[in-house]
């Protein structure tokens, strides 16, 4: 073994198609983790593959200061599907970079430095995003991180109102926390945070890296809260598995965003794959499917294991089953006995984040398997 850092799973994946992954011997696995929400359109969606391949053959890369159709097309599509007036896009290569840019832009545009984040948050692993991430296990041994970050209880609007002041550059929140345990924002919370930001001229940054792109049943999770942030970050599934992130900004942030850049920003191949992904999400109404399939999955899970678990929660196809004892012990059984791949979220939550193309029969198989491994 010459690689390091990742702890490896005992299944070697050779191929993917739709909601399925296959190992080298051809065993089929139902992918209910989508590798952390990276494949909303399913594995190797033919339209995305075709768009990327076509672009790969014409132009792999040119520096960002030369306009190219693929990048401009993606800018237009992102602005068209963004909530409200988030018309200005910065492109990068990952979620953590999208958040780093959001934090830099907010500090520059406001002239302030303080950032308020929430308990149980996860925003990425580079020095700035990591400073906005709650859990000690991600930060241990890497200090000092970027300064100026404060944490308040997620969901507590009063604590947020008390923390945001005239020195605040930004509030950074997930509209539903993923890594922290599948914690939806309480009703009215995001609207209250929006008001606190408006009162003090701070930028509201919503991290939709896990919640966005149809996953929670609307294109962006903030839509169901009727809140438009000043900056919205997306990544993960945006190019169906090729590395891309985007920081969508309102004009007041974009026009005074300061000096930022990255060599691979808006490369033509990932831009073409991302535009094709947005196309598929729209054309196949994957947000609508996430909403209806999510409702179905929750009611079936409630019926099958509702009595045995603490909670089944989430929205659309971003669901958590909070069990009474370690969720981690269930995952190998799901994988090895039922060929179903899922994820943890913290120690007690089994996280389901399937590709948005899953059908009822796939949900039925998962419900049956979850009931079996818990029994
Ligand atoms: C995954 C994730 C990130 C970090 O994205 P990377 O591409 O791994 O850097 C940030 N925020 C949220 C909410 C995420 O789920």
CATH of the domain at 279: 3.40.640.10
Whether residue 179 is found in the same domain as residue 127: yes
Note whether 206 and 232 are within 8 A (CB): yes
Which residues lie closer than 8 Å to 191 by C-beta, 6 or more apart? 225, 226, 227
**The predicted structure's pLDDT at residue 181:** 96
Ligand 1 centroid – CA 184 distance (Å): 17
Note whether 271 and 74 are within 8 A (CB): yes
Indicate whether 73 belongs to any domain. yes
Residue 37 has pLDDT above 80, yes or no: yes
Q: 248, 283, 318 — which closes off a domain?
A: 283
pLDDT tens for 97-142 read 999 999 999 999 999 999 999 999 999 999 999 999 999 999 999 9
Which residues lie closer than 8 Å to 244 by C-beta, 6 or more apart? 91, 92, 93, 94, 235, 238, 270, 271, 273, 274
268 CB under 6 A from ligand 1?
no
Note whether 202 and 171 are within 8 A (CB): yes
Whether residue 81 is found in the same domain as residue 221: yes
Residue 7 has pLDDT above 80, yes or no: no
Indicate whether 5 belongs to any domain. no
Whether residue 185 is found in the same domain as residue 289: no
Pocket test residue of 130, 234, 235, 344 for ligand 1, highest count of atoms within 8 A of CB: 235
Whether residue 295 is found in the same domain as residue 236: no
Indicate whether 166 belongs to any domain. yes
**The predicted structure's pLDDT at residue 1:** 59
**The predicted structure's pLDDT at residue 2:** 75
**The predicted structure's pLDDT at residue 4:** 75
**The predicted structure's pLDDT at residue 178:** 98
Residue 326 has pLDDT above 90, yes or no: no
Whether residue 178 is found in the same domain as residue 88: yes
Query: Which residue, among 216, 262, 208, has the nearest Cα to 238 in the 3D structure?
Result: 208
Whether residue 338 is found in the same domain as residue 293: yes
Please give the residue range of the domain that contains residue 107.
46-283
Whether residue 291 is found in the same domain as residue 143: no
104 CB under 6 A from ligand 1?
no
Count of domains for the chain: 2
Q: Binding site annotation covers 151?
A: no
CATH number at residue 26: 3.90.1150.10
pTM over 0.75: yes
Q: What distance lies between CA 335 and its chain's CA centroid?
A: 23
Residue 60 has pLDDT above 70, yes or no: yes
Whether residue 73 is found in the same domain as residue 145: yes
Indicate whether 315 belongs to any domain. yes
Q: Sorting pLDDT into bands at 50, 70 and 90, what band is 325?
A: confident
Whether residue 198 is found in the same domain as residue 56: yes
CA distances from 13 to 8, 9, 215 (A): 11, 10, 24
Question: Residue 312 in 3-state DSSP?
Answer: strand
271 CB under 6 A from ligand 1?
no
Mean pLDDT of the region 155-167: 98
134 CB under 6 A from ligand 1?
no
247 CB under 6 A from ligand 1?
no
CA distance 347 to 359: 28
Q: Whose CA is nearest to atom 8 of ligand 1?
A: 95
């Amino acid at each position: 073994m010459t690689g390091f850092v990742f702890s490896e799973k005992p299944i070697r994946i050779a191929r993917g198609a739709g909601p399925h992954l296959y190992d080298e011997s051809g065993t089929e696995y139902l992918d209910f983790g989508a590798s952390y929400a990276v494949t909303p359109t399913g594995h190797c969606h033919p339209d995305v593959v075709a768009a990327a391949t076509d672009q790969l053959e014409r132009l792999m890369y040119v520096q960002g200061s030369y306009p190219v159709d693929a990048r401009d097309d993606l800018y237009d599509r992102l602005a068209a599907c963004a909530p409200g007036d988030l018309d200005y896009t910065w492109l990068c290569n990952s979620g953590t970079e999208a958040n780093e840019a959001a934090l830099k832009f907010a500090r520059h545009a406001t002239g302030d430095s303080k950032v308020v984040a929430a308990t149980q948050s996860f925003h990425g692993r580079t020095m700035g995003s990591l400073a906005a991430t709650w859990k000690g296990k991600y930060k241990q041994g890497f200090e000092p991180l970027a300064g100026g970050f404060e944490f308040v209880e997620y969901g507590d609007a009063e604590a947020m109102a008390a923390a945001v002041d005239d020195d605040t550059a930004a509030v950074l929140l997930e509209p539903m926390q993923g890594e922290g345990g599948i914690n939806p924002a309480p009703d009215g919370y995001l609207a209250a945070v929006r008001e606190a930001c408006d009162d003090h001229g701070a930028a509201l940054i919503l991290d939709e890296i896990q919640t966005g792109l149809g996953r929670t049943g609307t294109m962006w999770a903030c839509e169901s809260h009727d809140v438009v942030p000043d900056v919205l970050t997306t990544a993960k599934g945006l190019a169906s598995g090729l590395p891309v992130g985007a920081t969508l900004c309102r004009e007041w942030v974009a026009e005074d965003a300061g000096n930022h850049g990255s060599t691979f920003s808006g490369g033509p191949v990932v831009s073409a794959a991302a535009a094709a992904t947005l196309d598929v999400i729209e054309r196949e109404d994957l947000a609508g499917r996430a909403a209806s399939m999510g409702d179905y999955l929750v009611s079936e899970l409630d019926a099958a294991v509702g009595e045995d678990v603490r909670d089944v929660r989430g929205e659309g196809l971003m669901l958590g089953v909070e069990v009474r004892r370690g969720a981690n012990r269930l995952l190998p059984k799901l994988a090895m006995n039922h060929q179903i791949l899922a994820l943890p979220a913290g120690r007690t939550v089994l996280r389901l984040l399937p590709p948005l193309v899953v059908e009822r029969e796939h949900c039925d198989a998962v419900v049956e398997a979850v009931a079996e491994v818990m029994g």
